[in-house]
Amino acid sequence: MRILIVEDEKGLNEALKAILEKSGYVTDSAYNGTDGLDFALSGIYDLIILDIMLPKISGLAILGELRQSGVSTPVLLLTAKSEVEDKIKGLDTGADDYLTKPFDTGELLARVRALTRRKGEIMDDELRYGDLCLRRSTQELSRGSSSIRLGFKEFQLLEILIMNKNQIVLKDTLCEKVWGPEDGSEYNNVEVYISFLRKKLSHLHSEVTIKSARNLGYTMEGGEK
Ligand code: CA
């Protein structure tokens, strides 16, 4: 799960990042409206946390632009106590929920869970596919009684592949979701990490395989029975 944080207060942005990453989310931070909009338009995020008062472009303008461009990523608005009208405007513009500053960590995480769940991606600790079980809390991949711990990138790749089973996941998508939108130099890493994952699958003697779909991307096989 990858979350975009658009918040110009540096301390709050960093605090949000720390809280979310501690709970296993991957985050990107933008500190002004222009960067926020650019990042958000990539469409790679599972959730966008969006402050309303931002330099350059306001949160509400970003939200309007996203919805007009057909980006339906869930948006959690951050509002100050005094911005009641903005809250209403925000919900009208297509925000999914809002949180009034200052908020407590538990409340934030509950909203984040609810909004990412709305997409149908229930954050159960165990993700199953075929004879495999992937445990999110420990990044452990197991088959029967054997298990192996995955590196964080391997874990993220496999999580995305399992959540999108029965379809081809494009290399570009994997690259953006795991390495982020900024770094084009990591492209070849996808292949390297997929080969690590394949080794681990065969080490577990799993029936599941990761098939290459031409040069486009990957798909999981061996889980349908
Ligand atoms: Ca602000």
Give the pLDDT of residue 120.
47
Ligand 1 center to 26 CA (angstroms): 22
6 CA distance to ligand 1 centroid (A)? 9
| 180 vs 4: CA distance, rounded Å | 10
**Which pair of structure tokens corresponds to residue 112?**
């984040």
Q: How far is the CA of 59 from the centre of ligand 1 (A)?
A: 9
Stated as kind and residue range, the H or E segment containing 212 is strand 209-213
Digits of tens for pLDDT over the chain (225 positions)?
A: 899 999 999 999 999 999 999 888 999 999 999 999 999 998 889 999 999 999 999 999 999 999 998 888 999 999 887 777 888 888 888 899 999 988 889 999 999 988 887 554 445 678 899 999 998 878 899 999 999 999 888 999 999 999 888 889 998 888 888 887 666 555 678 888 999 999 999 999 999 999 998 788 999 999 875
Which candidate, 42, 13, 64, 5, places its Cα nearest to that of 184? 42
Ligand 1 center from residue 32 Cα (angstroms): 9
pLDDT tens per residue, range 73-107: 999 999 887 777 888 888 888 899 999 988 889 99
Q: How far is CA 142 from the centre of its chain?
A: 23
The predicted pLDDT at position 185 comes to 59
Expressed in angstroms and rounded, the spacing between residue 7 Cα and the centre of ligand 1 is 6
User: For residues 75 and 49, what is the distance between their CA atoms, to the nearest angstrom?
Assistant: 6
Q: For 94, left (φ over 0), alpha (ψ -120 to 50), or beta?
A: left
Sign of the torsion formed by the C-alpha atoms of 109, 111, 113 and 115:
negative
Kindly give the pairing relationship between strand 126-129 and strand 132-135: antiparallel
Read off the amino acid at residue 31.
Y
H or E stretch covering 124: none
- pLDDT at position 210 is 96
Separation between Cα atoms, residue 33 and residue 62, nearest integer Å:
7
The shares of helix, strand and coil residues in the chain, as percent rounded to the nearest 5, are 40, 25, 35
pTM exceeds 0.85: no
CA of 53 to the centre of ligand 1 (A): 4
- Report how far ligand 1's centroid is from the alpha carbon of 40 (Å): 17
The pLDDT of residue 194 is 94
Strand order through the sheet with 2-6: 26-30, 2-6, 47-51, 75-79, 97-100
CA of 177 to the centre of ligand 1 (A): 26
